[in-house]
Amino acid sequence: MRKTILTGIKPTGQIHLGNYIGAIKPALELAKEPDYKAAYFVADYHGLTRVHDAEEFRQLSYGIAATWLALGLDPDKVIFYRQSDVPEIFELNWILSCFASKGLMNRAHAYKAIVDSNKRSNKDNDFGVNMGVFNYPILMAADILMFKTEVVPVGKDQIQHVEIARDIAESFNNNYGMTFLLPEYKIQEDTAVLPGLDGRKMSKSYNNTIPLFEEPKKLQKLINKIKTDSMPPEAPKDPDSSVLFMLYKEFASDIEVKQMKEQYINGIGWGVAKKELFHVMNRFIEGPREKYHELMSSPETIDKILKEGAEKARSISAPFLKEIKNKIGFYV
Ligand code: TRP
C-alpha cells in the first residue's frame, strides 16, 4: 500500500524563491516517489485567518494553485484541490474541536507568539486574535486526518501542528476505537535554506524575498540590491561566505558552480557575479513564469483542475466522514 503524503500552502502572500527551494521543490520530488500517494492543496480557509480583502484573497488563492502547476505538479498523479471545495474537512473540523483541549490550543506557538508580543507592548493578551487564528491547528488536523495521511512534509515551524494533529487523533481514537492514522512530519533536512537579499533566511517576515515569478528587469534590480562588501573586483573572494554564490549554487549546473568558484578565488567583481546570478536564476524561472502567467490569465483552467481534484478528494473524504459520524452516534 502506498502511503498518503499531504501538504498545503495558505494563500497569504506571494510565493518566493525560498518557498520554492525549501518546500515546493522537495514536495514535488516526493510526489514522484512510487511509495507515496500525494495530496497537495490550497489551504484557502487557513488564509482567511489573515487576508480579509476579497480581491487579494482571490488572487492569492489562484496564485498558489498556478504556482504548483507551473512548477510541474501533475494533477493526474497528485490529488490537487482547494480546501474550501471539500466540505467534509469542515465538518470534521468541528468534530475534532470537540476533542481538542483548549489548553493545547493555548500552547500552539503561532498563537503564543501573538500573545507574547501583545504582552510586551502592554496590549490585551488576545489583541488582534480572531478565533480562526486560535483554532488554526484544529483545521490543520482536519486537513491531515481526513485523508488518513501518514506523512506531512512541512517546514520546521509546522512540526508542532502535526504533533497537535496526532494528539487530537489519539484522543478521538481512545474514545471511539482506532479511526485516525497518526501522521508523521517529514522535514527535508538536506534542502538548502535560501538566503534572502540581506543574507538572513529568505522569509516574508524579514522582507528580504525574491518573488518566484518576478519579471526579468525587476529580478535583476532585486539581485543588484543584495548586500556585498567593498572589496575591489580583482581581490580574491571566499565563495562560501557569499550570499550571491549561495544563491548561484541553487540554480546553476555543477560545471557552472565549479567554474564560478574558481572565478571567486581568482577575483570577480560583484557586478559581474550579480549578472551571472541573474542569468542562471532567470534561465530557471523563464519557463515556469510563462506557464504561471498563462494560468493566471485563465482562472477557469485552474478552477477546472481544482474541481476535478476536489472530486477525487471527496471520493475519500465523504465515505470516511460517514464512518466517523457513525462511530460518534450520528444518524447517517
Ligand atoms: N499551516 C501550514 C503553513 O502555514 C499550511 C497548512 C494548512 C498545512 N493545512 C495543512 C500544511 C496541512 C500541511 C498539512 O505552512
| Residue that has been written with the C-alpha cell 558552480 in this structure | 257
Give mean pLDDT, residues 59-80: 97
The three-point CA angle 320-80-49 to 5° equals: 85
| Residue 270 predicted with pLDDT over 90 | yes
> pTM for the complete prediction?
0.93
Burial class from Cβ neighbours inside 10 Å (0-12, 13-18, 19+) for residue 133 reads: middle
User: Which residues, other chains included, contact 245 with Cβ-Cβ below 8 Å and sequence gap of 6+?
Assistant: 239, 260, 261, 264, 273
CB environment 46-65: b (16+ within 10 A), e (fewer): bbbbbbeeeeebeebbbbbb
Q: Is 214 helix (H, G, I), strand (E, B) or coil?
A: coil
Q: What's the rounded mean pLDDT across residues 59-69?
A: 97
Domains annotated for the chain, with CATH where assigned, are: 3-195+299-328 (3.40.50.620), 213-292 (1.10.240.10)
Q: Which three cell numbers stand for residue 263?
A: 572565478
pLDDT confidence of residue 193? 79
Cα 149 to averaged position of ligand 1 atoms, centre (Å): 13
85 Cβ closer than 6 Å to some ligand 1 atom: no
Query: What does pLDDT average to over the chain?
Result: 95
The answer to whether residue 325 scores a pLDDT higher than 90 is: yes
Has 304 been annotated as catalytic?
no
Q: Report, as an integer, the average pLDDT of 54-60.
A: 98
Write the pLDDT tens digit of every residue in 118-177.
999 999 999 999 999 999 999 999 999 999 999 999 888 899 999 999 999 999 999 999
**pLDDT over 70 at 276, yes or no:** yes
H or E element: which one contains 185? Answer: strand 184-186
**Any catalytic annotation for residue 261?**
no
Contact 125, 115 (CB under 8 A): yes
Q: How far is the CA of 153 from the centre of ligand 1 (A)?
A: 9
Residues 6+ apart with CB under 8 A from 64: 9, 10, 11, 15, 42
pLDDT at residue 203 above 90? Answer: no
pLDDT at 188 exceeding the cut of 80? no
DSSP label of 24: I
Mutate to test the pocket of ligand 1, among 5, 6, 9, 133 (most ligand atoms within 8 A of CB): 9
pLDDT confidence of residue 11: 96
State the catalytic residue, choosing from 3, 148, 186, 201: 201
Is the C-beta atom of 7 inside 6 A of ligand 1? Answer: yes
Ligand 1, atom 9, lies closest to the CA of 140
What the block records as the C-alpha cell of 135 is 483554532
10: annotated active-site residue: no
190 has pLDDT over 70: no
Q: pLDDT tier at 1 (50, 70, 90 boundaries)? A: confident
In which order are the strands placed within the sheet that holds 36-42? 79-82, 36-42, 3-9, 151-153, 184-186
Backbone torsions φ then ψ of 147, nearest 5 degrees: -110, 20
Q: Is the pLDDT of residue 312 over 90?
A: yes
Q: Is the CB of 140 under 6 A from ligand 1?
A: yes
Q: Ligand 1 within 6 A of 48 CB?
A: no
317 lines ligand 1 (CB under 6 A): no
Question: What per-residue confidence (pLDDT) applies to 66?
Answer: 98
How confident is the model over 169-185, as pLDDT tens digits?
Answer: 999 999 999 999 999 99
